[in-house]
Amino acid sequence: MSSAINDKKTTSTKLNELEQIKKFTTVVADTADFESIREFKPQDATTNPSLVYAATQKANYSHFLKEVLVERRNSGLGGAAQIEDIIDHLLVRFGCAMLEIVPGRVSTETDARFSFDVQDSIRKAQRLVKLYEEQGIGRERVLIKIASTWEGIMAAEQLQTEGIKCNMTLLFSLPQAVRAAEAKVQLISPFVGRIYDWFKAAKKREYSGAEDPGVQSVQEIYTYYKHFDYETEVMGASFRNTGQILELAGCDLLTISPELMKQLFESYEPVERKLTPERARSADVKRLELDEKKFRYLLNEDAMATEKTAEGIRKFTADIAKLEKFIASKIN
């Protein structure tokens, strides 16, 4: 059967949209809600400090924090070091619990305040992986999330040589994606929804389907990777609606919130695979040559990518600060 026929082929309408997407894309749960993970059965899961903070506010997850507080009570640490230690253990505790449900991997985020610090990013990643290993979780089941700054990608490049797999987050442009692939990181997470948000506000118009700038960004990155045979995985993230997800059916991975997974689960419309390696390999793509100066210049020239990367780092920093304040209130 030719690739052209494969491109047009749809899966059976007896399956819901979520089940159809799983036929050619790995679905990842973007949540710290275990019940949602059990219900929709994704392959992988991802979390961050804001999701963990939200989960600890719920009665059925508050015991994780209580257990960590008891376990780390005699750590010998105090002040900021004690709070950092508790948060590291809490993130890993949630990650381990998720790995009891999903058969694949879990992504755990480093501190966004280290986004421009190579050595501290490496230190934090090594610390988190060590805590996972102490719980019997191998490195192959853990992805460390790091912001897609020049320094973040440099840290990830070093970590990958140590067998620590990285997930580059806050990624909004082809130069970020190309540099990550050249660094041989395991996975990137281009943020579809945030790109859509920026263009919607800037252009004062709605976007849908294939014209969505967030969708187009991931399509461009996926095509570039497959055309040049990069092994780095592409995981579309930060979706605003199911239309964006359906336009990226066939992407290596898609990380989806419980709300959108529920919508896909309840719909039985046929799903067409939109992205294929065969189509990407035959595309007309020019190789992008990058060094640090070219990377920084191209990122600066892209107002959306520059603003969204900076905004994302600020928001992730605020999330970790909120979690720190919450932890401090529990130990004082």
Which residues belong to the active site?
Answer: 145
**Burial 87-111, CB ≥16 within 10 A → b, else e:** bbbbbbbbbbbbbeebebbbbbbbb
Among candidate residues 221, 272, 217, 283, the one with its CA nearest the CA of residue 247: 272
Among candidate residues 280, 255, 288, the one with its CA nearest the CA of residue 177: 288
Give the C-alpha separation, 284 to 274, whole Å: 17
Give the C-alpha separation, 168 to 235, whole Å: 10
Distances (CA, A) of 28 to 187, 189, 196, 236, 294: 13, 11, 21, 10, 33
Which residues fall within 8 angstroms of residue 282, CB to CB, at 6 or more apart?
none
Unique residue bearing structure tokens 């419309």:
269
Which residues fall within 8 angstroms of residue 108, CB to CB, at 6 or more apart?
47, 91, 92, 95, 128, 132, 142, 143, 144, 145
Among candidate residues 46, 309, 19, the one with its CA nearest the CA of residue 187: 46
Query: In the 8-state DSSP scheme, what is residue 1?
Result: -
Give the C-alpha separation, 7 to 32, whole Å: 34
Contact 304, 195 (CB under 8 A): yes
Among candidate residues 282, 284, 233, the one with its CA nearest the CA of residue 3: 282
Count CB atoms within 10 A of the CB of residue 250.
22
